[in-house]
Structure 1
Amino acid sequence: MLPLSVLDLSFVSSGSTPTQALHDTLALARHVDGLGYRRYWLAEHHALPNVASPAPEIMIGQIAAATQRIRVGSGGIMLPNHAPLMVAERFRVLEALFPGRIDLGIGRAPGTDGITARALRRREAPSGNGGDDFLDRLQELIFWDGGFPEGHPFGQIEASPAGVPMPPLFLLGSSDYSAQLSAQIGAGFAFAQHFSGIPAEGPMRAYRNGFTPSRLGAEPQAILAVAAICAETDEEAERLASSARLSTLRRERGEYRPLPSLEEALAYPYTPSERARIEQGRDRLHVGSPETLRARLTALAESTGADELMIVTAVPDQKARHESYRLLAQL
């Protein structure tokens, strides 16, 4: 059986509110916990009207408390926005409260626009790295779990709560860079096929082939994040997918509007070029009946060598969204 997991961005739907989106996240987490999903990951995005997920570490605690067995984690914490010590301590607290159920997924992107990213940063990145200090922050985060080299100024500090290990570490990415870095340090790897502009096979295979065991992990853990919408029939699934397709089209134009209703999406007057763009994006949104998706997702997992699939489903109707995850679980 190929394990299934959930990636939730807490989508804000047209006519609803960000507050309701957070409550929808809690309801979906309880739903999939009973369906046997392995993980439930929360994303970090800032100042975007279409998602309500700026603080995954808060939602992780809420979801872990509201569920029984599912692992809960970040997909991810955008490390350039945070002091590594604060990340280490927050996730140690979560691990202490919910031992063996927490994952720490780390991302390199800011999860927002440039101005908001600047407002989030506790310090400016060294100019010599082109403004990118991700590797420095990642190394520091790892040191907070395993100890700093002798003579390091932070070596005398003990991250709180003492005696609690860090959760398993995963690097997130949509290119070869994070795949190779994850392999080098022995961390888990999650590839964002749902928005990446390149095929998943290359980075996923590169990660597995280049994996070096370390104290972070003895074996590779390769997660493939995919966008999928399932319904009883292919026709119904295509109807439900109209909202996600219009939302993606708008996002590519820089319009981060709430997820449109099905009525709005079905009535939208697409131009020929817009329809062509939607057709080009069909490889990144997997839509269909259970049997259609069984064949498609199984083939994708085999071609990429994925250990599990992490499903993100953008449907404004929460009942239909719950049903999509239920049908996928039955596969």
Structure 2
Amino acid sequence: MIPLSILDLSVVTTATRPSVALRNSIDLAQHADQLGYTRYWLAEHHNLASVASPAPDIMIGQIAAATERIRVGSGGVMLPNHAPLMVAERFKMLEALFPGRIDLGLGRAPGTDHATIHALRSRFDGREGDDFVERLIELTLWETREFPDGHPYNNVVAMPNDAPLPPIWLLGSSDYSAQLSAQIGMGFAFAHHFASHDAVDAMTWYRAHFKPSRWRDQPHSILAIAVIMAPTDEEAERLVLSADLNRLLRDRGQYRPLPSIEEALAYPYSDAERAHIARNRSRLFVGSPQTVMQKISPLIAASEAGEVMVITAVFDHDARKRSYSLMADAFKLGKQAAA
């Protein structure tokens, strides 16, 4: 089987405070490290009641220190929210502390609402519009030191200067990041769990048009999918009720912690709401190991994914860990580690 990794949002529930959710992420990462997962990535979201982690670089350091083997990275740093020099310094520092175990995943979305965007960037340099490519180029220049002659940044060094930037991945849910990743020769991760664009189209285009670069010799694409797995289909369908209600409320602009199964069962759904939930299920793979693998295997094959990254958001932390254990068994991670 291909490599298997985790994308973690540090899920906040109606029974789990954000500080506990962060500690749960460390516990889950240790669990994933033992199971043989390849990577453990942390997302950046702001002002979102169900996500506890607005600063993935801080969590990366904590998780890398608490694990032994697994790669740890950002899924991702929302580059428009940060000065490229700050990103370079923080990830060079992480690479210096945990050499060969850090990934730098970059996104172009803000990861929040308009008011929070303003609060994040109100003291920034005043650049308007989509300046992601400009910021990405500047970030890479802190590594290559190829600023034009006479540029003021030639006198600025991103420290620690004896540690390289870790591998860079561009994240996306459309064909834009696929095309950019291929053009500049970086890794690409596709967010199937919330994308409206076709994953097969984006990922196969990336592989077909990839240009080798100083950043990567060969294309490597990650398919990020949402999975809820349990020993039986019936149990998995019960676990997913929390995510169903949470997504329904989010689509209405109501951002709340993940509700319990009991809260979801008590909610008075209308026929239109049930139809909306059914449509959302197209981005979510739910069931027993056999059921989930039957659903995801054709997508993995058609997209030519080099790796699968799983996000599992359920109310109970132990149920989340069990879902990842079942995924590890389905992908034969233990057998790979023993080989």
Q: TM-score, normalised by structure 2?
A: 0.95
1:148–1:154: 8 Å Cα contact kept in structure 2? Answer: no
Q: Which moved more, 1:63-72 or 1:143-152?
A: 143-152
Q: Is the 8 A contact 1:232 1:290 kept in 2?
A: yes
Structure 1 residues 85-115: Cα deviation after superposition (integer angstroms, max 9, x where no partner): 0000000000000000000000001111111
Please state how far the C-alpha of 1:150 moved relative to its aligned partner.
Answer: 3.3
Do structure 1's residue 321 and structure 2's residue 320 form an aligned pair? yes
Which residue does the alignment assign to 1:134?
A: 132
> Quick one: which of 131, 140, 144 aligns to 1:146?
144
In 2, Cα distance between equivalents of 1:2 and 1:279: 29
Alignment size in residue pairs? 328
Answer whether contact 1:126 1:133 (CA < 8 A) is retained: yes
Aligned partners of 1:148, 1:125: CA distance in 2, in Å? 24
- Contact 1:125 / 1:132 at 8 angstroms: preserved in 2? no
Name the CA shift for 1:214/1:125 in 2 (closer, same or farther; >3 Å).
Answer: farther
Give the C-alpha shift of residue 291 in structure 1.
0.8
Structure 1 residue 148, shift from structure 2 partner: 2.2
Asked if the contact 2:44–2:77 (Cα under 8 Å) also holds between the matched residues in 1, the reply is: yes
Code of the residue aligned with 2:135 in structure 1: it is R
Which amino acid is the alignment partner of residue 316 of structure 1? F
Q: Which residue of 1 aligns with 2:211?
A: 212
Cα RMSD between the aligned structures?
1.0
Q: Structure 1 unaligned runs (5+)?
A: none
Q: Distance in 2 between matches of 1:125 and 1:171?
A: 24
Q: In structure 2, how many angstroms separate the alpha carbons of the residues matched to 1:293 and 1:252?
A: 25
Equivalent residues in 2 for 1:95-110, closer than 5 Å: 95-110=95-110
Gaps of 5+ in 2: 331-339
User: Match of 1:276?
Assistant: 275
Question: Which residue does the alignment assign to 1:248?
Answer: 247
Q: What is residue 308 of structure 1 aligned with on the other side?
A: 307
Q: What is aligned with 1:93?
A: 93
Runs of at least 4 residues off by over 6 Å: none
**Does 2:121 align with 1:123?**
no
Q: Is the 8 A contact 2:108 2:132 kept in 1?
A: yes
Residue 80 (structure 1) aligned with residue 80 (structure 2)? yes
Alpha-carbon distance, 1:125 to partner: 4.7
Question: Is this contact kept in 1: 2:172–2:189, CA < 8 A?
Answer: yes
Structure 1 residues 8-27: aligned runs within 5 Å: 8-27=8-27
Bigger drift between 36-45 and 289-298 goes to 289-298
Do residues 174 (structure 1) and 176 (structure 2) align? no
Q: Hey, what does 1:66 align to over in structure 2? A: 66
CA displacement, residues 24-78 of structure 1 (integer Å, 9 cap, x when unaligned): 1111001111000000000001111111010000000000000010000000000
Deviations 1:283-317 (A, max 9, x none): 20000101111222221110111111110001111
Provide the TM-score with structure 1 as the length reference. Answer: 0.97
In 1, are the aligned partners of 2:147 and 2:153 still within 8 Å (CA)?
A: no
Question: What's the secondary structure of 1:293's corresponding residue?
Answer: helix
